Structure 1
């Protein structure tokens, strides 16, 4: 248990009870506290941070005050009208216009508030939106949390949720894209090797002295900054305290029953309960109901927080709330692979790099390509689902040659010169001297796979992909290889063995189906009326984009925006207002 809560016995009383400790939940907590509310945060696990702590720490916030400098550099101005059109086009029939307008209005306000009133700091990024073929897409709408010193948490340092170990390099968390490039090049560039060696040396010294890395980046930095702000504002974070049910008196939610280390107790909230428990990526019943049949087989292959078991939705339904599955994508999809004999998120790898690079392709069990390997992860998984429709469970094979895996690694396998024998021995990585031999090992028709690779190799040498237009837009190019010797940065032939394969699944980083809410994040009932005293934020609430994923940080951006909105609204600082004016950003 963290903060002043460990001094209290029996029932607790506050103005606002926040359930969960991810980015949206902690934003709601600090916002309500800054507005004069007494706040308690209840977290079911023994560490705080949720999925946010292990995420990339990026927020998609169009119109944020960091964007103009990047827009000026690129010569690409943005506008509210342009981004609003972009969202509405991608959300399609699932768009809820009033919530989208609220996101656009309060997102930039949330960023300014956190940077002004808390330890949170962001950096602007040049990062293409995910649907870049849309003429209203841009490269200037994403932010990333600035790195931080976790030791500033003091005694709470040990309670911070740590990064997933498989995403670290010998325990080191890679932050910026520049730093990532240095690590990829370290095996073949003396300059990059020296830069990496210096960072690793400092990391090892700090780990030896403090028992863990002081430097936190991305999602870890964001949570550390938010948590330190909570502690300084006397907001207790009660760990090992799962909320079991909501307390409702008449037609008003008045708190929750929380099962703490010493047993159940009531936490009475005079003004509101804010649900931020992270959605349902580990609620198999809900996943089975919401996901396409071939995207669910009872085994989560997710890098989301294992504590996210749908608690918020169940509690909301218990007091009249409604779970909304009317979205284009129920999951915030991510192609993943699983290392044998490692259970839970620690065994899962999110394929964010390899499949987008030259020298890699993806095929179905029939040995055929089925889509653009360089598109955003949120678009790639629906391609797997569509290509395997009718199969009991959908998957694909990621295939690469020696040159590609040496340069970029493959899944959990690191680039050369790091060893890969153990991955081959475990069956995670399949190796063969020829494409035909690889096909036999992965139970794919050798003739079909050889034909697919030969066809793709011809495209790669020409620099075009007439089948799936890989490398045809700015998002693809951004994710490609500037050093590629072939015409297209995303396309490279698979020419020299040995060849490798890894099985990839339809995994997720979170969920988009969720509790129905209004534009102020208030939970609404079947009639569309707000349930008094109850809000939902983060992945507990249904996606504001209707299941679309417009850009990098399109889960955290809305999650924290509506956390801010909920915190301000419950304190009476936001009243019903007109939509934002259409103006230049």
Structure 2
């Protein structure tokens, strides 16, 4: 039987050992681990695509001390990783869950690589984001999924969520950082030219028979590998355009004096069709979190419109709402309710809005700086995207309080000169400096022959902007940033420009007109608040008792990072590991009940 089915095709008495709600990275991981154990698995996805926000991400998976860490320079240990997380996360999350993640991370990766198509490689250099904190490493913890040939998916290729169009080139060709570096260097390096010819030639062939490129990298590669692995197993069923409407517990109640009763079944709905499906072992919630729930946003993210969220559609919190009705509770104590990145917005020709995260390609590079609406710098542009988003909101609050020197920061502006734009690009404007007319015409990109002219175009005081740039340029010449310490950590320098001839890979003067600016706002890239779980991913009630048979992973679970961002892939890594722990526990329950 094929992996992809429809709800009406399920028998009226359908029963599964493991039911997974949500087909993002964490949900697919839980399903695949259950399938490896021989469980009968059902995956339910409310949208028409598999992959969730993972498919739009870099796919980086942060898991310390796997076998891959031994293949790169440096030393690491679980004790070192635990100490690092303790220092960064502190009391914002349960340390016992962090220890469970670290204890089982390597075995979860090894299990995938031995039994499935999911394979990784370590980044040559990818520092932890808080690289100045004791216990941080420069490499080995951040794993990258190997590229994947999407043609191997066959008809399932159409079920894989396509990447954000603005992250592709040449009409749907995916590129990762390695590809981008080769494309930029192909005029100077024969090896880069060969690489560029290879991927462009492959893409040209792809477009003869596919709507987009089939050479998958980053998050699309990870999801493609998960999907292909599930398709090889006859004990897995996938439903798209289907949602969970109700969770049923034993004896028809939610709880009694002995605590919550076990999950017995769920009701699914697809159009006019409904099915009651029995759950023998466990129900795993992995629906992506609550970022698109209007009530949650109004309470937890005031002043941050939903349109600023760059996450994939579908994470409306509906699954969590059903769990809360059973007595589940949200976790507490997170440093932030969400994870953040600066994003820029642009209306597409079809009327939809592109929400573009500024992760590494522009803001931290020489010749770039960020200003508030008063025309002043107020943050370290080379800090992590999460800290950058938090700094924008903090500056906005200072401005609203009337603090001296503060200025409104929602939105802010990334400003650069012509040389920096050509070298690094700016948001959706790609390196090279070509094709600017369309971006200037719709206002996404603003420009001025002088800083004073640019100030008029973006609505800031010209004298203040000129003074800000003059100060920045003096610091860039010296290679030091006494105001915000830009370029002072290994992480910051790593996302700078290694080929920059100046004294600091993150600092360069804005000296060559015309000058350009793009408006940025803080976008929530995922929820840090979710259902409280234990070290087996079991959902807990208000008394701390597990609700039997109910699990939460990914952004449906309270983040073990407590709203901090210790490194790249700190949502995907724990999602995969706790998907493993949830599946293992649920399959054991199903086996015991058989």
TM over 0.5: yes
Tell me whether 1:281 sits opposite 2:279 in the alignment: no
Aligned partners of 1:470 and 1:378: how far apart in 2?
A: 16
Q: How has the CA–CA distance of structure 1 residues 325 and 546 changed in structure 2, closer, same or farther, with 3 Å as cutoff?
A: same
- Supply the distance in 1 between the matched residues of 2:130 and 2:590 (Cα, whole angstroms): 32
Partners of 1:111 and 1:63 in 2: CA distance: 10
Compare 498-507 and 432-441 and name the one that shifted more.
Answer: 432-441
SS in 2 for 1:431: strand
- 1:520-557 deviation digits (Å, cap 9, x = unpaired): 10000111110111000011101001111111110100
Q: Is the 8 A contact 1:184 1:408 kept in 2?
A: no
In the alignment, the residues of structure 1 paired with residue 183 and residue 315 of structure 2 have an alpha-carbon distance, to the nearest angstrom, of 32
Count of matched residue positions in the alignment of Structure 1 and Structure 2: 568
Aligned to 2:28: 26
| 1:469 paired residue number | 485
Q: Which residue of 2 aligns with 1:562?
A: 578
> What aligned pairs does 1:447-526 form with structure 2 within 5 A after superposition?
447-526=463-542
Q: Contact conserved, 1:122 with 1:144, CA < 8 A, in 2?
A: yes
Cα distance in 1 for partners of 2:350, 2:321 equals 26
Partner of 1:553: 569
In the TM superposition, what whole-angstrom CA distance separates every residue of 1:80-132 from its partner, at most 9, and x where no partner exists?
22111110111122131110100001111110011011110000112100001
5 Å matches for 1:124-523?
124-125=122-123, 126-139=125-138, 140-186=140-186, 192=192, 195-234=195-234, 235-250=236-251, 251-291=261-301, 293-294=302-303, 296=304, 298-340=305-347, 347-352=354-359, 353-389=361-397, 391=400, 394-523=410-539
Shift of 1:300: 2.8
Is contact 2:116-2:229 (8 Å) kept? yes
Contact 1:272 1:570 in 2 (8 A): yes
**Partner Cα distance (2:562, 2:285) in 1:** 19
CA distance in 2, matches of 1:573, 1:14: 12
Indicate the residue corresponding to 1:48 in structure 2. 50
Partner of 1:12: 14
Structure 2 CA distance for partners of 1:80 and 1:473, relative to 1, 3 Å:
same
Q: 1:514·1:540 contact (CA, 8 Å) conserved in 2?
A: yes
How far apart in 1 are the matches of 2:105 and 2:214? 30
CA contact (8 A) 1:304 1:345 kept: no
- Looking at structure 2, the residues matched to 280 and 405 of structure 1 have their Cα atoms a distance apart, in angstroms, of 36
Paired with 1:384 and 1:63, the residues of 2 have a C-alpha distance of: 34
Task: Measure the CA separation in 2 of the matches of 1:203 and 1:260.
Answer: 36
State the SS of the aligned residue for 2:143. strand
Match of 2:557 in 1: 541
Which secondary structure does the structure 2 equivalent of 1:332 belong to? strand
Shift of 1:211: 3.8
Q: Tell me, yes or no, if the aligned pair for 1:388 and 1:395 is still in contact at 8 Å.
A: no
In the alignment, the residues of structure 1 paired with residue 67 and residue 431 of structure 2 have an alpha-carbon distance, to the nearest angstrom, of 38
How far apart are the structure 1 equivalents of 2:216 and 2:384? Answer: 26
Deviates more, 1:30-39 or 1:404-413: 30-39
Distance 1:97 1:325 in 2: 14
Contact 1:246 1:253 in 2 (8 A): yes
CA-based RMSD of the aligned residues comes to 2.1
User: TM-score under structure 2 normalisation?
Assistant: 0.92
C-alpha distance in 2 between matches for 1:143 and 1:335: 24
Aligned 8 A contact 2:173 2:212 in 1:
no
Q: Secondary structure at the match of 2:213?
A: coil
Shift of 1:326: 2.7
Give 1:582's aligned residue.
none
Alpha-carbon distance change, 283 to 186 in structure 1, aligned in 2, over 3 angstroms:
farther
After the TM superposition, list the runs of 4 or more consecutive aligned residues in structure 1 that deviate by more than 6 angstroms: 187-191, 342-345
Q: Residues of 2 paired with 1:431 and 1:11: CA distance?
A: 64
Shift of 1:497: 0.7
2:27/2:579 contact within 8 Å kept:
yes
1:119 aligns with: 117
- 1:578 maps to none
How far apart in 1 are the matches of 2:375 and 2:545? 51
Checking the alignment, whether the CA contact within 8 Å between 2:372 and 2:411 is kept in structure 1 is yes
Asked if 1 retains the 8 angstrom alpha-carbon contact of 2:282 and 2:589, the reply is: no
The residue that corresponds to 1:583 in the other structure is none
**Structure-2 change in CA distance of 1:48 and 1:544 (3 Å):** same
Equivalent-residue separation in structure 1 for 2:352 and 2:108 (angstroms): 31
* Bigger mean CA deviation after superposition, 384-393 or 301-310: 384-393
Rounded to whole Å, the distance in 2 between the matches of 1:502 and 1:395 is 10
How far off its partner does 1:209 sit?
Answer: 2.5
CA distance change for structure 1 residues 245 and 325 in 2, over 3 Å: closer, same or farther? Answer: farther
Deviation at 1:173, TM superposition (A): 4.1
Structure 1 residue runs of 5 or longer lacking an equivalent are 576-585
Deviation at 1:197, TM superposition (A): 4.0
Q: Deviations over 1:416-463 (max 9, x none)?
A: 252111101101100111111111211111111111100000000111
Instruction: Report if the CA contact (8 A) 1:147-1:175 is conserved.
Output: no
CA gap 1:524/1:343 in 2 versus in 1, 3 angstroms: farther
Q: Is the 8 A contact 1:187 1:417 kept in 2?
A: no
- 1:480–1:489 Cα contact (<8 Å) kept: yes
Supply the distance in 2 between the matched residues of 1:343 and 1:316 (Cα, whole angstroms).
Answer: 37
In 2, Cα distance between the equivalents of 1:36 and 1:434? 66
TM-score w.r.t. the length of structure 1 is 0.93
Q: Quote the Cα distance in structure 1 between the aligned partners of 2:331 and 2:171.
A: 39
* Counterpart in the other structure of 2:66: 64
